[in-house]
Amino acid sequence: MKKTWFRLSLILLLTAVFLYFFFRSVSWKEVLRHLGDVNLPIFILSLILVPLHLVTRSWRWRLQLVGEKKDIPFSSLVRATTVGFAVNFVFPGRVGELVRPLYLAQKERIRKGFTLGTILVERIVDIFTNCFLLGFFLVLRPWIKNPLSVTSESKSNLYFYGVLSLGFALALLFIVLCLIFFRSRTMAVLSFLLRPFPQKFAQRVLVLIEDFIEGLSLFPSLRIFFLYVLLSFVVWLGIIFYYWVFFLAFRIEIAFLHLFPYVFLTMVGASIPTPGMVGGFHYFSRLALTALYGVDSNLAVGATIVVHALQVVVTAVLGYAILWKDGLTLIQLRKLGEQRSQ
């Protein structure tokens, strides 16, 4: 009980700190003025596009599940994905990552362990995709028109981090391929590299790698795996497209390619286990908009509040509608995910 309260207090403190820096030096009069200047038709279009990533994520997820059950209705995948993200938006701790596969397993009568194994692979591939897109953009940035609104020193740093991100993505892909083709040798090398670390930590890392390998084995063939990686780019390019349309509604004209760093930073903020991504997403969104694109801080705050609210409200409404039809509640699903994580 004490551990639970300590963890909750830490999460709330972290949320408060991020929100403090997000709201610092904000003129609410200016924020409201920017909100009143929105392009309504484009804003409505961005509202319609909110569930886009739920569809593309479900499409990608289907490739992992064909080895277990080939005839899973696409609607079931979309419903499970929507419910999982609804839980993530409402509760802290990313419980929705467990709810999503468990909900699908219950609905389609497939093995829970099988569906749970798909999530770790999904997260690793998401990291690879975002690092690759960020690195690709930052390395090519000097040859792209309309450079970012940053100082020459920051541009140099961005190029360095671009090379680093691209290198990390390629290294991650290389390790994954080695785990596929040379599993025993790769595990031996990784075990050797982990020897200097504490035994408990090294053991946890090795268990995580074993779980990841188990997740890779869910793919029926190597061709399906590479198609899955390709669809991961479709997922994230769709997310970037959504933000591009949304910012146009707020008269923030940022080139599509230039949004790669923004999405990467907000992904980092969203990964912080605060309730509904509150705080982390907001701070990193404002930071990216003001530091990288020179957007007025009040406009950045207003746009961030609205884009986050849109995602939360639309996803939660869709999730509640699905659960209402199934006779379930978000609280029941949260408990299901928490019990599985213990």
Domain coordinates in residue numbering, the chain: 34-341
In this prediction, residues 182-189 reach a mean pLDDT of 82
In this prediction, residues 267-277 reach a mean pLDDT of 83
First to last CA, the chain: 13
Q: Is 101 in contact with 112 (CB distance < 8 Å)?
A: yes
pLDDT at 74: 92
Is the predicted pLDDT of residue 28 greater than 80, yes or no? yes
Supply the mean pLDDT for the chain.
Answer: 83
Confidence of residue 335 (pLDDT cuts 50, 70, 90): low
In this prediction, residues 118-146 reach a mean pLDDT of 79
Confidence of residue 148 (pLDDT cuts 50, 70, 90): low
pLDDT at 227: 93
In this prediction, residues 149-162 reach a mean pLDDT of 60
Percent of the chain exceeding pLDDT 70 equals 87
Which of 19-28, 58-67, 94-103, 121-130 shows the lowest per-residue confidence on average (mean pLDDT)? 94-103
pLDDT at 80: 92
In this prediction, residues 147-156 reach a mean pLDDT of 56
pLDDT at 253: 87
Is the predicted pLDDT of residue 162 greater than 80, yes or no? no
232 is written with which tokens?
């991961």
In this prediction, residues 296-311 reach a mean pLDDT of 94
In this prediction, residues 306-318 reach a mean pLDDT of 93
In this prediction, residues 22-47 reach a mean pLDDT of 92
pLDDT at 203: 84
pLDDT at 324: 87
Q: Nearest Cα to 20, choosing from 303, 278, 307?
A: 278
Which of 55-64, 207-216, 279-288, 296-305 shows the lowest per-residue confidence on average (mean pLDDT)? 207-216
pLDDT at 333: 64
Q: Nearest Cα to 218, choosing from 119, 100, 128, 127?
A: 119
pLDDT at 336: 60
Is the predicted pLDDT of residue 192 greater than 60, yes or no? yes
